[in-house]
Amino acid sequence: MKNTLLIIALALASTVNAQILNDILDGAYIPSKSSELNTPLLLTMNPQNGTPDEVLVLMINSVSPDAGTGNEFDPGENQDVVLYASFSGDDVLCLPLFQEGVYTICCLDSNGNNVGEQVTIFVNEKFVDGIVTAGHAENKDNLIVSNRPLRIGRDQPGFISFN
């Protein structure tokens, strides 16, 4: 049921062309100073269950990126979900992040079915500091670049937070 609701939310977001990443890159949308990351993050992603046809990155606006570790996170029916970005599954999967937020990453086959489980990341300054401290990313010319890809489309749902 939750996956169905998520797909419906995606369909609605897609009809209004709500790809936030494209708007940021085009200069049509600028994150607010309160939600902007101090240093942008370029996060590489690696699908774990084959090559999906499409990878969707959803931003869940109704959940704070400072909220817990994901154990109490439930993307239920009343969530404010927008499409942040979409990628073809055969693309090099590099996700630029400019603002704090809760992002859910879904891998889909050609029929819109899940390929592996969703991964949700709680991105804030603690997350960025955590992946740098853990050796998963490094600062390169005022850009935090991951050197170990985020595993998406896992066998089990994933929640990543450094809160």
How do residues 32-51 score in pLDDT, each as one tens digit? 788 889 999 999 999 998 88
pLDDT of residue 12: 39
Average pLDDT, whole number, for the chain? 80
Length of the chain: 163
What pLDDT was estimated at residue 1?
32
pLDDT above 70 covers what percent of the chain? 77
pTM of the model: 0.80
Residue closest to 107 by CA, chosen among 75, 154, 63, 159? 154
Domain boundaries, the chain: 2-160
Which residues are CB-contacts of 138 (< 8 A; sequence separation ≥ 6)? 132, 144, 145, 147
CA–CA gap between residue 153 and residue 136 (Å, rounded): 19
Q: Cα dihedral sign for 128, 130, 135, 136?
A: negative
Residue 13 confidence class, pLDDT cut points 50, 70, 90: very low
Phi, psi of 5 (to 5 degrees): -65, -40
